[in-house]
Amino acid sequence: MAIATSASQLSSSTAPEPAPRVELNGPVPDFEANTTHGPIKLSDWQRGRWVILFSHPADFTPVCTTEFVEFAERFGEFDRRNVALLGSSVDSVYAHIAWIRNIEEKFSVKIRFPVIADLDQHVSRLYGMIHEPSSVTAPVRCVFFIDPKMTLRAMIYYPLNVGRNIDEVLRVVDALQTADANGVACPANWTPGEDVILPAPVTYDAAVERAGSKQLQVTDWYLARRHL
C-alpha cells in the first residue's frame, strides 16, 4: 500500500543541511584543501601562527588583482607579526597558477602565500563566503582573523566591487595582538604606539578609585587611557 507523504515532510527530508556558522570568539572549522602550495589541512598548516583567510571572487579580475599585489607587497609585515596569509576562490589550481604568474610578471611582486582551489565551494560554504544576493557562485570579499588557538577573532566582509584596505587588516591584527598581550582595549582609529583603554571598573569602590587616579588619563570613571 502506498504511503502518502506531505509536501512539508518531503521538503524537510530533502532540504540541504544549513551551513555551520562561524562566530566571533568561537572555534573555526578545520578543513583540508588543495592549494597552489599543495594539499593543506588548516590546523596543521597553521603551526601556531595567526592566519588571515581571505576570499576573492575570481582569478584574472581587476579588483582582486590589485588586492593580491597589495598582500604580496605587505607580506613581510604580516610575517613579522606571525601572521600567515591564505587566499581562496572557487577557481582551479591551474587558473590560480596562471593568474599568479601573470601578476608576478606584470607587477614584479612575488606571491608567497598559498591560494585554495575551492572548486566544490567546500571552504566557501563552510565559512559563509557565498552570499547569494551578490553571486550564487563567487565568494564575496571576506577576511577572517584566526588566532593560534583556531579561534575567530574578527571578520570583515566587503562587496564584490570594493577592494580591501590592507592597512586596516594590519591595524586589526595589531589591535588584537596588543589587546591580548596587555589585557586592554583599543579605541576608535587606534594605531600602534597610541594610548590604549583600560577595562571599566565593575565595582563602586573601583570606580571611585579610577576616577581619582593620577597615573592614568581619566575622562571619567568608565573611560581611562594609558600609554603602553
Where would I find the H helices in 88-197? 93-107, 122-126, 166-182
**CA-to-CA dists, residue 185 to 109, 132, 194, angstroms:** 35, 35, 12
pLDDT value at residue 204: 96
Residue appearing with cell numbers 571572487: 57
CB-based burial of residue 138 (10 Å sphere; 0-12 exposed, 13-18 middle, 19+ buried)? buried
Which structural domains are found in the chain, ordered by start?
19-164 (3.40.30.10), 183-228 (3.30.1020.10)
pLDDT value at residue 2: 42
- Note the maximum CA span of the chain: 86
Q: Strand ranges (DSSP E) for the chain?
A: 32-35, 38-41, 50-55, 83-89, 115-117, 141-146, 152-158, 196-197, 217-220, 223-226
Sequence-distant (6+) residues with CB within 8 A of 12 are: none
- Which is the catalytic residue, given 42, 64, 85, 116? 64
Q: What is the pTM of this model?
A: 0.88
CB 41 within 8 A of CB 31: yes
What is the distance between the alpha carbons of residues 101 and 143, in angstroms, rounded to a whole number? 24
Helix, strand, or coil (residue 34): strand
What is the distance between the alpha carbons of residues 223 and 161, in angstroms, rounded to a whole number? 38
pLDDT value at residue 20: 58
Q: What is the pLDDT along the chain (228 residues), one digit of tens a residue?
A: 444 444 444 344 444 444 557 999 999 999 999 999 999 999 999 999 999 999 999 999 999 999 999 999 999 999 999 999 999 999 999 999 999 999 999 999 999 999 999 999 999 999 999 887 777 668 889 999 999 999 999 999 998 899 999 999 999 999 999 999 999 999 999 999 999 999 999 999 999 999 999 999 999 999 999 999
Active site residue 64: yes
pLDDT value at residue 138: 80
